[in-house]
Amino acid sequence: MTTSNPIKDSLKPYMKGKIVATFGLGMSSGFPLTFVISLLGFWLSYSDVSKSDVGLFALITTFYTWKFLWSPAIDRMPLGFITRRFGQRRGWLFVIQGLMALALITVSRFDPASELFAVAVLSAFIAFLSASQDIVIDAYRIEILEDEEQGYSAAAYVYGYRTANFLASIMVLAVAEYYGWATAILTLPLLLLPGFVAVLCIGEPERPTDSRFLAEEASLKTYSPFAARLREAVYLPFKEFTRRENWGLILLFVFLFKAGDAVTAIMTAPLITDMKFSPADVLFANKTVGFITLMLGVGLGAALYKQIGTFKALFLAAILMMLTNLGFAWLWAGDAEPWRLAVTIGFENFATGLGTTITIAYFASLCNVNFTATQYALISSLGNQARTILGAPSGYLAEAVGWVEFFILATLMAVPGMILLWILWRKNITGAT
């Protein structure tokens, strides 16, 4: 008689080759964002670039928000012999990664103090390539796995993503300290290798060969080859989604689900600064306690998505994310003690890890396999819009009402998303048609 080992059983899904590949894809996807939103700011600041100019570089992050605009081209447009040799997904990924490596190598040769415009242009190009790489990787990782594996895939992807965030920060800052920023930035293309090797080993995902929707559309009217291809790439992904019942509710839920969390995330740093926590306190809370609890949340999120189902997992994630907002109100109401900061950040990162894994798996379930890249880009971009639209005025709100009241209001902002989740749950609106 054999006895099961719960730990071994829980880790077994992550040993599959395609799940391991998803981890590598997450690494290649994660580090460019770290460069764009964090390391770039350090590089510019250490090069004596003014705060106002450093702030303007935040504009390049808009590529992540609007990536659905060019996702149809990546989804459908072939790249000649590259596509014939490697396939649609791998061909695009190899081209994008090659261009990104070249852009990183090139930008490292410039001095921001005297060549700021060139650095800005190249950094914007890197952000564009990063968002484009995300389009390809999201489609690829969804298409290589079955629906029941999407939860584990999402967890592996987030593990890889966060690991790359951590490694990029530590690696670049450490190398910059001893060898300068030019050499430090040259280390970043190495993090493209895990994703490159992953898709090289796994191969091109199989494209669906039987689609009643596409067959019906093809029978409606005869188009020229160019017009038919353009229509299939740009128009049909949106038509297919909007012909689903209650599609508007789904998109509204995607937008509002992390509304409260988006508002809170923007104001976390100002709160910690106001409480006079030292950099060492923040480093311990974020890079030690926060990183560990984040990884625990990611793993639990995958297990919950598999064991209790989509809506129960989403509901639990929503409750935890609401409670973390109240955690910051608790932090402000007490003394500035390091252990209290660690508890608050740890709880927040745990909820973030759990919620991120579950929402990534849920977004994947909403995509029709014929239009994975375009539909996932649209859905994920819509989710990011809340961070931009609702997060922008959060500072004014915090100044107007005070920290405790601000975080209570941020908690209440999650209620509309919870109501929509309950409606979707009641109607059992899950997955693509």
Query: What's the average model confidence in pLDDT over 408-419?
Result: 89
Reduced to 3 states (helix: H, G, I; strand: E, B; else coil), residue 215 is helix
- What per-residue confidence (pLDDT) applies to 44? 85
Residues in the chain: 433
Alpha helices (H) in 180-246, listed in sequence order: 181-186, 193-202, 212-220, 225-230, 236-242
300-339 pLDDT, tens digit per residue, is 888 888 888 888 999 999 899 888 889 999 999 888 888 9
Closest CA to 107 of 59, 203, 43: 43
CB 291 within 8 A of CB 275: no
Please say if the pLDDT value at position 3 is more than 60.
no
109-123 pLDDT, tens digit per residue, is 999 988 999 999 999
Please say if the pLDDT value at position 14 is more than 80.
no
Whole-angstrom Cα distance, residue 330 to residue 150? 36
Q: Containing H/E element for 96?
A: helix 88-107
> 168 CB contacts (<8 Å, ≥6 apart)?
30, 31, 34, 35, 39, 188, 191
> 316 CB contacts (<8 Å, ≥6 apart)?
304, 308, 354
- Residue 182's pLDDT band (cuts 50, 70, 90): very high
- Give the relative orientation of helices 338-365 and 310-333 as an angle to the nearest 10 degrees: 160
Domains of the chain: 15-202 (1.20.1250.20), 245-427 (1.20.1250.20)
The top-scoring range by mean pLDDT among 34-48, 268-282, 341-355, 356-370 is 341-355
Closest CA to 103 of 60, 71, 146: 60
Residue type, 36: V
Rg (CA), the chain: 22
Predicted model pTM: 0.79
If you write DSSP's letter for every residue of 375-412 in order, what string do you get?
Answer: HHHHHHHHHHHHHHHTTTTHHHHHHHH-HHHHHHHHHH
CB 99 within 8 A of CB 128: no
- Residue 432's pLDDT band (cuts 50, 70, 90): low
Q: Return the C-alpha torsion angle 423, 426, 428, 430, nearest 10.
A: 30
Whole-angstrom Cα distance, residue 32 to residue 176? 17
Please say if the pLDDT value at position 292 is more than 50.
yes
Tokens 């659905």 correspond to 68
